[in-house]
Amino acid sequence: YSMSDDKNYCHINGGEAFIIGDVNEQMHAHFYEALSDGARTIMFSSPGGDVETALAIYDMINHIGNVTIVVNGLCASAGTLILQGASTRKATPSSQLLVHFGSESAESEAERKHNKNVEKYWLQLFQARTKASMRKVRKWHAGETFFNTQQALKEGLIDEVI
């Protein structure tokens, strides 16, 4: 079956799902539906979105385990973090990945501290999954770093180009 709204689309067919769109509450629901229905391979494309939602999806994928994500198109920002939660990370040959922090606004000292803690955790997740040095991971996130599939494979952001 399929579900969609203005910014997201999800189609589930047995053990596979196709999820595209912004990282938001709707995408979170799409991942939940797909994984609850037994999908373990997810074709995925996202321009990024909400950091906390990406962390929630990452945790869900990690908790369930044995999930393969196949990037098909652009996987950017928060989407690239979701990708790192998969047991197996693949990408189609013309896919692109973008790594950066995006922009988190903070109006109070508590929000600034929270954002700094989230940033630190985010870096640790990337470092643990890619096995890159923390210095290299910080450099990727210092600006906007794009990777084609061969670069992503070399740097440990994906496991295979299909």
**pLDDT tens for each residue of 130-158:** 999 999 999 998 889 999 999 999 999 99
pLDDT at 2: 66
Work out the number of other CB atoms within 10 angstroms of the CB of residue 121: 12
Pairing of strands 8-13, 2-4: antiparallel
- pLDDT of 28-62, one tens digit each? 999 999 999 999 999 999 999 999 999 999 999 99
To the question of pTM greater than 0.85 for the whole model, the response is: yes
Backbone dihedral angles phi then psi of residue 137, each to the nearest 5 degrees: -60, -40
pLDDT band at 103 (very low <50, low <70, confident <90, very high): low
Task: Tell me what pLDDT residue 104 has.
Answer: 62
Q: Are 73 and 45 in contact (CB under 8 A)?
A: yes
As a dihedral over the C-alpha atoms of residue 2, residue 46, residue 78, residue 135, rounded to 10 degrees, the angle is 140
- C-alpha atoms less than 13 angstroms from C-alpha of 124 in its C-beta half-sphere: 7
What are the DSSP calls for 51-99, one per residue? HHHHHHHHHHHHHH---EEEEEEEEETHHHHHHHTSSEEEE-TT-EEEE
